[in-house]
A and B are shown apart, each in its own frame.
Chain A
């Protein structure tokens, strides 16, 4: 109790610090900058904070904090625009929002989806801050209870969400998740540095694929290509239905879901080491499991937006606990945040174990600045969402070149390598085929995101446990099966059983008709081939290395799944759901343009970039796409191209980024931005 009484004056001091006009001014400035950056997929808090860093040196601590916190807090809010309007997961915080947000936009309810998302974000942020105000005082011992086995169990719980997102054929979902995990193991192993599915001759792969690339490739590219083929607007309805007030009503009607998901968000955010990668999937799974009529999920169920969006802003608050109390960043942006705090003032704020004792007022200021930034950010977002939602009524052929430009730039930021674009195209092709043959893309993404933590925690927990077992059997068991682990195991088992029972009703990506046998079969064989090769590749790693175990285990399970699928394909007639193929019926089958010519446009941008560098390639691409594909007038094309290039250069200049160079740049020294 004493702890709480002594905290009250600090809370008062914190509000005294925050409620100064100049502090609020800096906060609003940070929020606006954060919104502008967060709108672009792939440019999250890291890019924004790097932009602010040079200002931080010697700045008044509270002003610097207001600016930085304002920026970090709203990135998961503004991410929502890309997720809902274009089906692009802007960051790991908004992966799950895509599942129901984008279908709503396609139905012409973008404004409603957006405002429901923003209301949930706001609420989540506030719940998170309130919870933290009390929790941060007692957090330290609780956080320390989460050892490696507990972290592993939470990761497995996150993976169990594959169960409800697996689609109609559960084994297909499982193999999709396993394929995601195998793709996640590409590169140097964390344990002995052995290479999986890569060589040092291709250094790009040795570093592994980044989430931005995989997220854009698996979700954004297939959707963009599909819409482009149909040559219409995103929204099937000419009029935007469902205004922003309806979205807020939706949120209010589901307020308890929002409360529960906010708590989930803040608790998972508090645990260091997991960060945002699982939160939104757990919240989505929770939303599905607590909804009676599950038939609308994946087709535009508003609860599928409210759940993840409530959790992802709350998570930012929770993420402050490991950052401030332990000095351990929960995410990349938090790592920069810690670095920037040291530059503030004369460096008297020391993030880490002493933070609560020496800087409780600053700690509370950060917590409540975060909440306040959420309020400001959300109000701005709701205000503009009606206007931005109109984008969904524009003919897509005019929007697509712009989107290709943005996602290419975003992908390039992850590794600053031309290979980023090649990887994007390759993963994009995989995404297109998975979409076509109804393999669960959410399951794939969950597998990819959780592959790394699952492998690392499994290896570490086993290693530490075996050391404990050597001391005594009891000590080993105590370590592995703590009460928290047991509770998590029960929750996971229940969720998997319930999930599998319900999975057949949830078509996360809509209904898909079945057709001929050949195409789905070839795709399955190709996937099986990759998995078998990955298994063989891991098997080649020397036996004493831990880096071989995880890919071999996942690969082995997947191979069994593949064999089961192959057998089923041989036994069943071609009308069976296992032969789902989008080219047979529906939008894709009746599309105006073919798949390959459409994809070739994007490949063309890539090839031109590798020859002439990004800016020149972009100019050629924008102009010719609009002229030939969209059939616009020369004047229109020229104006569009000029605007696009100017926009791209301004972004890169502001964020201090370069563009991919091509062969040309190897021979000639060109001035920026042609470098």
Chain B
């Protein structure tokens, strides 16, 4: 891997300023690794243009500043096979000197959970140092939203819904399953390139139901809500410390899917279907993006990176800059990140079987 990077100069000056400002903190404790003069390569298994790129580009300069020795942090894009190519590559790497990290996303987790034959990676081999959560909001056209009976979605059950989807095996699995549980007849139109295209389809009046992740909802849909052309239906919710689904702190006034489901007689918040939805929701949203060190990383390296991310979170301006780039969601480190990884990848076999079977029967998608 290349050791000479363009960004070196930038980050070097960045780091120099930072060091001058806050004073050089000695990190010579024996529980830390020193990365002075090194280049940390952050592998993102997607292209330069996606949400994970945005997330990594946001964190990279901050991480560089916070790591002992202020190494250069470069984001390396390795797209292919819906992120399994990059993840398989990372699986084949061994820990050397702490200069290789990996950023996974919900799209990396789902094929793993569904038993995609291309998956050669194993999450439990890796060492998580950061987990970033997000949420999602489903919304409707004003006429359809008005026909709902309070939180009861039963009146919508006779409507033909059109939804612009990226594919039933992606994160779209969560909204599609949720709508099906509410008894809505949603026909996904596949083949769109990103959730932004789905919103455009909604704006053009071709789709009448849609969902966006929280930050996209705030940027793209809130103006439509203000203009009266879209009405939020529900958020997916957030997890509290005990693993219960509660209202999303970003949208405290919006009911969660759980509330809507409870208010709709045909929807059950127990049983296989609910457990499957909840498992995949947890895998896809509250633990959507994670940073890993490769297999065999020593405690010192894990601690160093965890502390560096802690330090990033402790920045005075972090709340402001992260709200704009990531939304107001927990950025978890240490034990919390481990907890998020566990709940995101430790899905009961019954839930996996349910979803694999449902994909086959409902959409004819077989996981080969």
Contacts and interface: CB of A to CB of B under 8 A. Distances in A.
A326 B201 CA distance: 11
Interface in A390-449: 415-417
B31 interface: no
A497 interface: no
A672 B4 CA distance: 8
A365 B205 CA distance: 31
Interface in A42-68: 46, 49-51, 53-55, 57
A459 B224 CA distance: 28
Interface string B300-334: 00000000000000000100110011000000000
B219 A327 contact: yes
A339 B206 contact: no
Given A51-B6, A55-B10, A335-B49, A328 B196 contact: yes
B81 A207 contact: yes
Interface residues of B, number: 63
Given A55-B10, A654-B6, A545 B219 contact: no
Contacts of A207: 80-81
Given A147-B206, A467-B160, A350 B48 contact: no
A415 B80 contact: yes
Contacts of A53: 57
Contact of A656 (B2, B49, B190, B203): B2
A54 B324 contact: no
Interface stretch (A86-94, A341-349, A564-572): A341-349
Interface in B25-65: 47-50, 53-54, 57-58, 60-61
Contacts of A352: 219-220, 223
A291 interface: no
B325 A342 contact: yes
A354 interface: yes
A190 interface: yes
A471 interface: yes
A336 interface: yes
Contact of A190 (B191, B200, B204, B321): B191
A328 B47 CA distance: 16
For B197, B220, B320, which residue has the most chain A Cβ atoms within 10 angstroms?
A: B220
A51 B85 CA distance: 23
A63 B129 CA distance: 35
A673 interface: yes
B227 to A, nearest CB: 8
Nearest to B54: A339
Interface stretch (B264-272, B283-291, B346-354, B360-368): B360-368
B1 interface: yes
B147 interface: no
B102 to A, nearest CB: 16
Contacts of A675: 1-2
A462 to B, nearest CB: 10
Contact of A332 (B47, B57, B160, B224): B47
Interface in B180-229: 187, 189-192, 194, 196-197, 199-201, 203-206, 216, 219-220, 222-224
B200 A272 contact: yes
Nearest to A542: B364
Given A467-B160, A471-B160, A672-B3, A327 B196 contact: yes
Contacts of A654: 6
A369 B201 CA distance: 30
A332 B77 CA distance: 14
A335 B49 CA distance: 5
A456 interface: yes
B187 A200 contact: no
A206 interface: yes
A54 B364 contact: no
Contacts of B196: 326-329
A504 interface: no
B191 A343 contact: no
A142 B74 CA distance: 41
A336 B48 contact: yes
A525 B57 CA distance: 51
A192 interface: yes
Given A147-B206, A200-B117, A658-B2, A347 B321 contact: yes
A346 B191 CA distance: 35
B49 A672 contact: no
Nearest to B223: A353
A169 B206 CA distance: 41
Given A273-B197, A350-B219, A464-B162, A144 B204 contact: yes
Contacts of B77: 50
A40 B200 CA distance: 34
B311 to A, nearest CB: 16
Nearest to A190: B191
Contacts of B191: 190-191, 455-456, 459-460
Contact of B205 (A147, A192, A329, A347): A147
A252 interface: no
B48 A653 contact: no
Interface string A656-673: 111000000000000111
Given A57-B61, A336-B48, A464-B189, A353 B224 contact: yes
B78 interface: yes
Given A192-B190, A460-B191, A326 B2 contact: no
Contacts of A57: 58, 61
A192 B2 contact: no
For A54, A203, A332, A654, which residue has the most chain B Cβ atoms within 10 angstroms?
A: A54
B53 A339 contact: yes
A191 B197 contact: no
B57 A203 contact: no
Contact of B320 (A342, A346, A351, A456): A346
B364 A545 contact: yes
A203 B118 contact: yes
A464 to B, nearest CB: 5
A193 B167 contact: yes
A77 interface: no
A544 interface: yes
Contacts of A200: 117-118, 368
Interface in A486-528: none
A336 B49 contact: yes
A176 B317 CA distance: 58
B169 interface: yes
A553 B224 CA distance: 39
A300 B226 CA distance: 55
B5 A656 contact: yes
A347 B201 CA distance: 27
Interface string A338-377: 0110110011101111100100000000000000000000
A653 B2 contact: yes
Contacts of B10: 54-55
B47 to A, nearest CB: 7
B93 interface: no
Contacts of A544: 364
A362 B368 CA distance: 49
Contacts of B219: 327, 350-352, 354
Given A192-B190, A544-B364, 14 more contacts: A57-B61, A147-B205, A147-B206, A200-B118, A335-B50, A339-B57, A346-B324, A347-B324, A357-B223, A417-B80, A456-B191, A459-B190, A467-B160, A671-B3
The 3 A-B pairs at the shortest CB distance, nearest first, are namely A347-B324, A335-B49, A190-B191
6 contacts: A46-B49, A327-B219, A340-B57, A357-B223, A463-B162, A545-B364
Interface of B: 1-7, 10-11, 47-50, 53-54, 57-58, 60-61, 74, 76-78, 80-81, 84-85, 117-118, 160, 162, 167, 169, 187, 189-192, 194, 196-197, 199-201, 203-206, 216, 219-220, 222-224, 317, 320-321, 324-325, 363-365, 368
